[in-house]
Structure 1
Amino acid sequence: TYEQFVWMQKLIQRNNPIWANLAYLTGSFGLFLNGVLNLFRYRNNLTYYESGMLGDKATNWWKLSDQIRLLFMTSIGLIASITQLLAIAGVATYDNLTVWTVLVTYGGFVTACFVVALRMIGYDRAFVKYYDPNSTISHRLFASLAYFYLGEDAYDDWCLIAAVGVLWAWNADSWFWAQWDHMTLEQQQTLLEQYELDMEQNQKRWAQ
């Protein structure tokens, strides 16, 4: 209902800017930690991705998709954590806003689409290998494992995205104004001009 919506808006607006900044830092550092631990510790074994080759020397789509995902998570998590720490100190808030709106949002979307495409290819290759009449029991076992691991990685991603997405969405309003308050007048003017230009273009598009 409208009353519930107003109540939620008031609750969100009560968020302290420092807590909003810390929420974004928590999410970005969590991404970095998850990526770096999996890359260099938990999935660092040379035989970890062996089942992705489906029992022969086929292209390991599982390994390829997973390492791209983890490399992006590590790099973008580190960059966003550094700029967010600077923003908490009131430094480089405009750069921090750019990192989050461009690298994290758009970069994350493009990378996610690419990783999903690689997983779909890997899943299809495992499906073909499993039902190939010439496949051995070993081939079918590796194909079954590839099914499982590809699905498990996708499930883990959705859980992680949901968790940090809720955290960031809940604090987005207070976080943005925390960045805005520490920008220079020139930076604020640049954002306003871009906003007005976008609105003008949208009005022309809607009028057509």
Structure 2
Amino acid sequence: MTEACSALTGSLAAVTWYQTPEVVHDTHSGDVIAGYWVPGSNRIVLTTSVMMDGGIVRHEMLHALLKGGGHPRGQFLGSCEGIVDCEEACAADAGPYPSPPESPIAVPGDSIEITLDVEPRTPARNIDQGRFSLTVFARNRSARWITVSPAAGADPLHTFSFDVHGGNGATAGDQRAIDPSQTIFSPHETKRQVFDLVIGDYPIANQLLPGNYTGRGAFAGWWSSDSSFVIAP
């Protein structure tokens, strides 16, 4: 997924992974961080609490593919936006958002197309250790630069959301905008957000039990149609 969005290839098998139960601090700012990539030894160190957080893992994988530190805007808030996490410190390091060639116009939700994709289509414990993803896509139907007016009652800072429910459990989540690139669409642009889930033994947090489910995705509070999928036993 990270290689595909970045258009970079590399031997991720050559990366050595470590986890630590300790609190990790950025050596420059002193801020608490979830993990880091070490260039000389090609190591990725993650705190235990984020080992299963796909967005953070892919963030560090992108560093390994780029073979460098820093957070180039074109990758972290461009090609791989919504696939790799990029929080406040990452966005600040990426530099300012370049002004669009024209002022974006605010449009209602029917000006974008919202769809949901489940990968793999039928999640199972014997595929990727039971991990699977829901990706919400939002496509600008127009040839104009736009922003999307939030649906009535929606948090104006929310971008992507998802909701899954079934007889064996339910879960939901959302993302909040921290950068203009996450709310401004170029003509016909498609944005996406990956939400990572796992087949678990208890229907809590991002875990779901095997069974039949219905899912939907949203952008700015505007929801897609329902999609049905099955989590295999």
Whether TM exceeds 0.5 here: the answer is: no
Larger relative strand fraction = 2
TM-score calculated relative to the size of structure 2: 0.21
- Tell me which of the two structures has the higher relative contact order, counting C-alpha pairs closer than 8 angstroms and 6 or more residues apart: 1
TM-score calculated relative to the size of structure 1: 0.22
Larger relative helix fraction = 1
